[in-house]
């Protein structure tokens, strides 16, 4: 009996230790904060506005943000010419959290040649704990409606009906979404951007009032807005770039609901946000969802508070707002465009993949370093840079099984470097060259590479290229002059040979299983499909062990994609040995209860 009791005590202690270790791995061992601080170049100022019927909410207030002016500014007594934006703080949030967003907008307006500028307003909810007590939410919602009406009155009298953008952080994003249930308010809302917001269900359901608020909002939105719900056949991992549910039409519902004209964008902070897990930040009613770790020019994880001051993220949000704003015909004021499809394309360009200009034709001369390559695998680098432009022609005529090509460029900044063309021999020199070529930069994705050299990659289907452009004979890679190390990698392969299927192990499985014994030197792209992710405790470790490297400072970038959840892809740079255990178990935890599917991990090896 004594021995049994000791064993039971040891078992309990061991279980507690394992539990604490698991929490430590999931919530403490996260990536460092790579956000840059946002600074104000003038003294932050807040002008309080009078809200009609606001006397019944004495603890709340509405402010207009401006900087550096010595004289007080009253938006209700002067003509406001910017496009209106309202910041809605969340649980225990301060109205002063608007400073980073608004300050970046002020700096951006100074350098905008078109004269576009934004008017930022912010709401003071007295830092109420709205995530812990649902009784605050109806009052905050009512006050938000009053604020919207007040701001609309400031901009009334314009030739066009004014529209407002709402930006909500944490529970503020849910409040912004909830005002759509009032059709009189919803018609004036242009776009809603939620930042780290639990949209469809709360983080903690502590009382019936909180549950009722979510249920009532959901019930009305189901009637007034088209929902996009993933199915068992949904797969957003087919291409290098994910498309939002609204573009893929995951649901078969009629898309003519009353509130479908409002653009809803949700964002999540990723691993560093320990308060609102990423799986809660998306909504069935959204048009687009993006994690900060996958947003171009952001590519980092934000914790719950840094999401409202992270400079890279603030710049991305304002970049989108400026792209959808325009100067009215009378040149008297700024407004947000009401064409939702155009605004959605701008959102895709900002939060998913930068929009490239239309495929343009570029002319080249025969002079220069022109070379033709027929090899399947190429690793070509110029350690000391290039004094002149270097051209490589890659033949498109290959054996039937070589369908795919992965091309990576290193240290090629924003210039066009990938083209398709029809090569010909020069009359005088006999050198093979392309007189004109069509840019393929719309197929290129820039990869997060920490603070190292710029890195971009294109995954091409050679069969589709030959069918679409029947006159093309070659791909053209152009490397510009550079004083730094520059080059490219090419990998043409049979896609069947680069896919490995993995079943998530059970809790009792501890043995190592070799997936790929050895890859060909120069291999650039490999896909791991991980299936049977049904339990949140399942984890897997992938060990990448280099046998021989052309470049001693090799890099392996993993793109982790969840097929049924657009916007949740992640990029991770691997070292000599990187454990996926925390990443994969966290992914299962985030989407536990969703439709079971698989996970795709793409290894981009250099």
Beta bridge partners of 482: 386
Pairing relation of β-strands 390-395 and 369-373? parallel
3-state secondary structure of 508: coil
Type and span of the H or E element at 177 = helix 171-178
Residues 390 and 372: their CA atoms lie apart, in Å, by 11
Could you tell me if residue 145 is left (phi over 0), alpha (psi between -120 and 50 degrees) or otherwise beta? alpha
Residue 62 phi/psi, 5-degree rounding, is -120, 130
Cβ atoms of residues 105 and 318 within 8 Å: yes
CA angle in degrees (0–180, nearest 5) for 420-421-425: 145
CA angle in degrees (0–180, nearest 5) for 46-322-63: 15
Residues 129 and 391: their CA atoms lie apart, in Å, by 61
Which two structure tokens, joined as six digits, stand for 140?
């905050």
170 catalytic? Reply is yes
163, 170, 283, 456: which one is catalytic? 170
Which two structure tokens, joined as six digits, stand for 370?
């022109």
Q: What per-residue string of b and e applies to 490-515 under the rule 16 or more CB within 10 Å gives b?
A: bbbbeeeebeeebebeeeeeeeeeee
Residues 295 and 314: their CA atoms lie apart, in Å, by 12
Is the four-CA dihedral 447, 452, 454, 457 of positive or negative sign?
negative
- Which residues are identified as catalytic? 170
């Amino acid at each position: 009996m004594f021995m049994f009791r000791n064993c039971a005590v040891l078992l309990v202690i061991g279980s507690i230790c394992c539990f604490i270790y698991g929490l430590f791995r999931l919530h403490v061992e996260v990536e460092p904060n790579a956000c840059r601080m946002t600074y104000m170049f003038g003294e932050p100022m807040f002008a309080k506005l009078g809200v009609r019927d606001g006397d019944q909410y004495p603890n709340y207030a509405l402010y207009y943000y401006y900087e550096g002016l010595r004289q007080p500014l009253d938006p209700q007594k002067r003509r406001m010419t910017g496009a209106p934006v309202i910041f809605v703080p969340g649980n225990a949030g301060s109205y002063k959290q608007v400073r980073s967003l608004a300050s970046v907008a002020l700096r951006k307006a100074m350098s905008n040649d078109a004269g576009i500028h934004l008017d930022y307003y912010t709401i003071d909810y007295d830092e109420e704990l709205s995530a812990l007590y649902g009784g605050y939410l109806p009052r905050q919602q009512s006050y938000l409606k009053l604020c919207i009406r007040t701001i609309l009155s400031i901009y009334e009298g314009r030739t066009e009906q004014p529209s407002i953008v709402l930006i909500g952080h944490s529970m503020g994003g849910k409040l912004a979404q909830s005002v759509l249930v009032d059709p009189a308010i919803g018609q004036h809302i242009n776009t809603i951007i939620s930042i780290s917001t639990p949209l469809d269900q709360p983080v903690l359901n502590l009382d019936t009032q909180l549950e009722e608020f979510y249920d009532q909002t959901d019930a009305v939105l189901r009637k007034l807005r088209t929902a996009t719900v993933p199915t068992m056949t949904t797969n957003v991992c087919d291409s290098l770039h994910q498309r939002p549910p609204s573009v893929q039409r995951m649901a078969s519902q009629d898309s003519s609901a009353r509130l479908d004209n409002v653009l809803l964008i949700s964002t999540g902070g990723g691993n560093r946000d320990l308060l609102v897990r990423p799986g809660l930040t998306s909504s069935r009613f959204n048009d687009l969802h993006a994690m900060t770790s996958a947003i171009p020019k952001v590519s980092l994880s934000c914790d719950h508070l840094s999401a409202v001051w992270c400079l890279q993220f603030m710049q991305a949000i304002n970049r989108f707002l400026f792209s959808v704003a325009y100067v009215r015909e009378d040149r008297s004021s700024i407004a947000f465009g009401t064409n939702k499809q155009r605004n959605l394309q701008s959102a895709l360009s900002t939060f998913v993949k930068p929009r490239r200009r239309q495929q343009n034709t570029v002319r080249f001369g025969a002079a220069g370093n022109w070379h033709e390559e027929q090899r399947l695998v190429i690793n070509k680098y110029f350690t000391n840079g290039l004094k002149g432009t270097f051209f490589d022609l890659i033949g498109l005529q290959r054996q039937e099984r070589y369908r795919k090509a992965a091309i990576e460029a290193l240290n090629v900044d924003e210039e066009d470097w990938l083209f398709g063309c029809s090569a010909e021999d020069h009359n005088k020199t006999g050198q093979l060259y392309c007189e004109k070529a069509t840019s393929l930069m719309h197929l290129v994705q820039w990869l997060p590479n920490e603070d190292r050299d710029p890195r971009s990659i294109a995954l091409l289907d050679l069969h589709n290229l030959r069918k679409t452009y029947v006159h093309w004979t070659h791909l053209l890679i152009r490397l510009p002059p550079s004083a730094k190390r520059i080059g490219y990698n090419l990998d043409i392969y049979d896609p069947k040979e680069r896919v490995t299927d993995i079943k998530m192990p059970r809790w009792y499985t501890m043995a190592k299983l070799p997936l790929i014994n050895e890859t060909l030197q120069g291999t650039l792209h490999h896909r791991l499909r991980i299936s049977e992710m049904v339990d949140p405790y399942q984890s897997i470790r992938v060990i990448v062990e280099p046998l021989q490297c052309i470049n001693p400072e090799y890099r392996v970038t993993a793109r982790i994609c969840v097929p049924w959840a657009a916007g949740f892809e992640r990029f991770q740079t691997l070292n000599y040995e990187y454990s996926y255990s925390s990443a994969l178990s966290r992914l299962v935890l985030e989407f536990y209860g969703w439709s079971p599917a698989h996970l795709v991990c793409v290894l981009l090896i250099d």
